[in-house]
Amino acid sequence: MTRVLVVEDDPQLVRALVINLQARHYGVDAAPDGAAALRLAATRQPDVVLLDLGLPDMDGVDVIKALRGWTRVPVLVLSARQASDEKVAALDAGADDYITKPFSIDDLLARLRAAVRRTDDTPHAPGTVLVETADFTIDLIAKKVVRDGQDVRLTPTEWHLLEILVTSPGRLITQKHLLQEVWGVPQRSKTNYLRVYMAQLRRKLETDPSHPRYLITEPGMGYRFEG
């Protein structure tokens, strides 16, 4: 049974989440604040955490940082905070996804299943040498991309950007992280770098670059690779 830890101080929302999760055969624990969440995470070892940022005793971002000190359990943020800098802060701290309130239960459950599936399958975990999609293959050791039987020429910058994304499949990688890793500049004023290079990668890899299947943009936050 997949265990879910719900960290939320709104009793009505907690009740709705518990009912819906248990109806789908998830095991559920609930914590009303950050301190209780960290205790339950240590003792119950959940498979995924649903975390509100506005907790009564500490900010949810601090809970994420504390969890990331010892566990890679998927953390899905559920928050009414809609500002992009709030989202980026949570993702940079180590959250795996960010769902803005109000949300539909179906959307939440789909993202929860995806987070658990990524953990279970780890299709491109560290050490993976070959990433295969329906349209192209990436050899991480040879630093080579093949599409339709032909080598795809990538610049060193394009390769570095692609490598970061494909080695964390399904995970939203923030603009700040990509700018720091690829160019050594975390300033958001440089996001035009990302737009240019992502457009180039899509032209080289996507069947329909204007409607990408693999290299996905999360507006105002970052990018993710869906294999």
Q: Please, where are the H alpha helices in the chain? A: 11-23, 34-44, 60-68, 84-93, 105-121, 156-166, 175-178, 191-205
**Per-residue pLDDT at 39:** 95
Rounded mean pLDDT of 181-195?
Answer: 72
Position with higher pLDDT, 100 vs 22: 22
Rounded mean pLDDT of 130-149?
Answer: 92
**Per-residue pLDDT at 122:** 47
**What's the token pair of residue 74?**
């998927």
- Residue 186: asked if its preceding bond is cis (omega within 30°), the reply is no
**Per-residue pLDDT at 187:** 61
**Per-residue pLDDT at 123:** 47
Rounded mean pLDDT of 190-198?
Answer: 82
Gap between the Cα atoms of 89 and 80, Å rounded: 14
Q: Is the pLDDT of residue 68 over 50?
A: yes
- The distance from CA 192 to its chain's CA centroid, rounded to whole angstroms, is 22
Convert the pLDDT of each residue in 87-130 to its tens digit: 878 887 888 888 889 999 998 998 898 778 766 544 444 556 88
Position with higher pLDDT, 209 vs 174: 209
Gap between the Cα atoms of 227 and 216, Å rounded: 11
**What's the token pair of residue 53?**
């940022």
* DSSP annotation of 153: P
Identify which of 70, 113, 58 has the alpha carbon closest to the alpha carbon of residue 94: 70
- The distance from CA 187 to its chain's CA centroid, rounded to whole angstroms, is 21
Q: Is the pLDDT of residue 31 over 60?
A: yes
* DSSP annotation of 213: S
Q: Is the pLDDT of residue 46 over 60?
A: yes
- Mean pLDDT (the chain) is 88
Position with higher pLDDT, 27 vs 190: 27
**Per-residue pLDDT at 212:** 96
Q: Are 6 and 18 in contact (CB under 8 A)?
A: yes
Gap between the Cα atoms of 83 and 60, Å rounded: 15
Gap between the Cα atoms of 118 and 24, Å rounded: 19
Gap between the Cα atoms of 49 and 115, Å rounded: 10
Gap between the Cα atoms of 167 and 170, Å rounded: 9
Rounded mean pLDDT of 170-191?
Answer: 77
